[in-house]
Amino acid sequence: MLPVERNLDADKIISRVKAATSILVVAHLRPDGDAIGSVSGLVKSLQKAGKQVEAGFVDGVPERFSFVWPEVKLWREPEIKSEHDLIMILDSGDADRTGFTFSRNPEKTCMINIDHHASNTMFGELNYVDTGAAATCEIIAALLERGGFPLDADVALSLMLGLITDSRSFQNEGLRHTAHLAAASLLKTGLNTTPILNTLNSGKSEADLRVQGFGLSNFKLECNRHLATLVIKQSDLKALGANMGSVFASGIFNLLLSINETLASVVIFEREDGVSFCEFRARGGINVKEVAVAMGGGGHVPASGCSRAIPVDELAAEAISLMKKQVNAFFSHQEQVI
């Protein structure tokens, strides 16, 4: 179910999709469950509706999510010369987040932006941005239903993957009832959730767990234990036999928030090529999106990130100092309110 006030935006998109013959569907770099789930779910439904569909992920499809991935032409080259009727960009706050540059004739090729990130720049000709949706998969499920597009157990498997991962198994703060309505629609198809649960609950590698162990042994607490910080250098990852993918797969970002008094975390880490990354997480109302945006990144109020081609220590110094300010400001504001 879509929020009623958005029906107009939804209907414009639905009629554009119905009129289109060839459609390219892409999402963001380093794809997570919602990026892979929303793209693959939409691709499968549009294929079943008889459209010529192509997909794009510069980084490819992670092995752990390959069980939802359909037979489809996959673009990986960063420059796309598009002759498609539509380019649909999912789960991405701006078009650069896809890692692609699109050369197109805007008269022929329409760009549609479907997302739930609060930092979305409304970059499409048509935009459907619902920051109250738990996942882009939730929006896609509702759009498919409203448009009468095919939504069988195969499509539902993809969409359920993103709905479960982005909502943190329906545990996000401020979760809207539409997340559960979307889940109900998907389950009604007869979908078997076992492959999703297997991937999420036992899909970790040894390296992922080593990184988790490193994180649990090396994090620091700041701001009266309200902020957890962790720096993982490339040399640490090498010693653990891990690469950067294991930092994301380790679950350490959210695990640091399981400490009783800790309401925010920042993990700063480094890729082989020297690009450094920050991932921010928070609960209880601390806004980490503001910090990510100030550092050139984006995301959601409770979960956001940024990256820059500078040494990890430099990025860490900036991220930790901004996070300390953000956490201290949150608590001093609370004291004033009390």
Q: Which two tokens stand for residue 31?
A: 């794809």
At its nearest, how many Å lie between Mn ion and the CB of residue 226?
Answer: 26
At its nearest, how many Å lie between Mn ion and the CB of residue 307?
Answer: 17
Q: Which residue number, 48 or 168, has a Cβ lying nearer to Mn ion? A: 168
At its nearest, how many Å lie between Mn ion and the CB of residue 120?
Answer: 11
At its nearest, how many Å lie between Mn ion and the CB of residue 217?
Answer: 30
Q: Which residue number, 24 or 137, has a Cβ lying nearer to Mn ion? A: 137
Q: Which residues contact 321 (CB under 8 A, 6 or more apart)?
A: none
Q: Which two tokens stand for residue 189?
A: 């198809």
Position 190: which residue type?
Answer: G
Region for residue 228 given its phi and psi (left: phi exceeds 0; alpha: psi -120 to 50; beta: otherwise): beta
Q: Which residue number, 45 or 136, has a Cβ lying nearer to Mn ion? A: 136
Q: Which residues contact 232 (CB under 8 A, 6 or more apart)?
A: 211, 214, 215, 218, 247, 267, 268, 269, 270, 312
At its nearest, how many Å lie between Mn ion and the CB of residue 253?
Answer: 15
For Mn ion, the binding residues (CB under 5 A) are 34, 91, 136, 166
Q: Which residue number, 91 or 130, has a Cβ lying nearer to Mn ion? A: 91
Q: Which residue number, 166 or 270, has a Cβ lying nearer to Mn ion? A: 166
Q: Which residue number, 136 or 199, has a Cβ lying nearer to Mn ion? A: 136
At its nearest, how many Å lie between Mn ion and the CB of residue 99?
Answer: 16
Q: Which residue number, 111 or 159, has a Cβ lying nearer to Mn ion? A: 159
At its nearest, how many Å lie between Mn ion and the CB of residue 335?
Answer: 34
In sign, the C-alpha dihedral spanning 225, 231, 236, 241 is positive
Among residues 316, 331, 231, the alpha carbon closest in space to that of 282 is found at 331
Q: Which residue number, 221 or 301, has a Cβ lying nearer to Mn ion? A: 301
Burial of 106 (0-12, 13-18, 19+ CB in 10 A): exposed
| Residue nearest Mn ion (C-beta atom) | 34
Among residues 72, 88, 74, 69, the alpha carbon closest in space to that of 154 is found at 69
Among residues 299, 233, 280, the alpha carbon closest in space to that of 92 is found at 299
Among residues 94, 57, 112, 139, the alpha carbon closest in space to that of 298 is found at 94
**Count of alpha carbons within 13 angstroms of residue 290, beta-carbon side:** 12
Compute the distance between CA of residue 234 and CA of residue 27 in angstroms, rounded to an integer. 27
The answer to whether residues 78 and 96 touch, using CB atoms and an 8 Å cutoff, is no
Compute the distance between CA of residue 163 and CA of residue 141 in angstroms, rounded to an integer. 10
At its nearest, how many Å lie between Mn ion and the CB of residue 308?
Answer: 22
